[in-house]
Amino acid sequence: MSKSKPTRVRNTSTKRALSSILMAFESLVVFFATLVAFGTKALGPTTENAATVWAVGLSLAVLLIATPAVLGKPGSYAWGWVLQIAVVFIGVWVPLMFVVGGIFLCLWIWAMVAGGTIDKARAAYERTQGQNGVVSTPVEEQ
């Protein structure tokens, strides 16, 4: 008898995948915006202000990189919206972040709409395939 691994069917969400990619990239941009805010002394030349820039910037970057782990759970996409608004408001320190944050906000909206549409279309397709007696083949992990 050969022991083969059981096949596992992946149920991936396009909405989650697009959102995760966007947030991972956005965390890098927020980190670089933090460097800009620190380098230009956006809050002033004091050490306390520099510490504030680092605390806020790094906290937001870490939250952005950690959020994809919980996407798909209840309330996680609402949390993503909160983070997107926070990125836009970094523009108070680094004015160009109003533009960059706005672009990421538009991409977030696109990820929510397009990802949700693709997921609904995939679910409808799988329902029709199941009604026709066609069974989709599972994806094997390698």
User: What does the pLDDT look like over 12-37, one tens digit per residue?
Assistant: 889 999 999 999 999 999 999 999 98
Q: What is the pLDDT of residue 57?
A: 92
pLDDT of 111 > 90? The answer is yes
pLDDT of 61 > 80? The answer is yes
Query: 75: phi > 0 → left, psi -120 to 50 → alpha, else beta; which?
Result: left
Mean per-residue pLDDT of the chain: 86
Q: What is the pLDDT of residue 50?
A: 84
User: What does the pLDDT look like over 127-141, one tens digit per residue?
Assistant: 888 776 655 555 544
User: What does the pLDDT look like over 69-86, one tens digit per residue?
Assistant: 999 899 999 999 999 999
Position 76, amino acid: S
* 53-59 long-range contacts, CB within 8 A, separation 24+: 53/93, 57/30, 57/31, 57/33, 57/90, 58/31, 58/34
Confidence of residue 105 (pLDDT cuts 50, 70, 90): very high
Largest CA distance in the chain: 72
* Mean pLDDT score, 115-130: 90
pTM for the full model?
A: 0.78
Q: What is the pLDDT of residue 141?
A: 46
